[in-house]
Amino acid sequence: MTPLHIVAEMETRLILPPEGIHLDALLMAAVARRDDAPPLYTQADAVEAQPLDIPIALSACGRYYLATTSIQHVSEREHRWLNRRFPLQEAIALGGPKVRRIQQSEGACKAYRIPVETAHVAELHWYAVGDADGVRRLLDLVSRLGRRRAVGEGTVLRWRVVELDEVWDGFPTLSADGAAMRHLPLDVEGLRDYAVRIGCVRPPYWARAREQEVACPP
């Protein structure tokens, strides 16, 4: 296990989650894809699932991984819309005589138009303590980042994994001045600059039953 600097060079814009992209969750998703693990559909699945083995070191207390969330500079932001139109004519043609009414103002047939913000980012950066070769092999399986990947958002041009010779105190979960660089328990030693949110300190980060007050990057 060595100190690592990981860089994703981006080819297209991406839709970033508010908390960024956690490296440990990204690598676990790559492991699940490599091993053809069953997907987690429900909150109960997420709570009962066992953590997958990733080449990243755990903290001394064993509660979180020594890896940051993504660090990036957004050069431009773009306002877009997600649109879905219910295929009314197709439903009429295929529905048969029993279909007498289609309610388009509510339910499964309702159309929507949702605003979304995309970010233009040249590179995303992470810091971690882990096995460089193992991380490289897993990142080779990751071709897109962020949300709406299935429709072409967040294409990665190339990955770089660099082993570091010198690091600062608190690396990699705290910056040199004590700022949180990932979700952390509030009692982490040396933590001085952070915001507080409700979240998880280990993947999957959407498991609401495991949420608590956590420190996050300010």
pLDDT at 70 over 80: yes
Least confident piece of the model among 94-103, 124-133, 207-216: 94-103
What does the pLDDT look like over 142-197, one tens digit per residue? Answer: 999 999 888 888 999 999 999 999 999 999 999 999 999 999 999 999 999 999 99
- The Cβ-side half-sphere exposure at 127, using a 13 Å CA radius, reads 17
Show me where the domains of the chain are located: 2-216
> pLDDT tens across 194-215, in order?
999 999 999 999 998 889 999 9
Partners of 216 in the β-ladder: 195
pLDDT given at position 202: 92
Query: What residues contact residue 93 under an 8 Å CB cut-off, 6+ apart?
Result: none
Residue whose structure tokens are 């699932």:
49
Long-range contacts of 186-195 (CB under 8 A, 24+ apart): 186/213, 186/214, 186/215, 188/215, 191/215, 193/218, 194/218
CA distance 82 to 71: 26
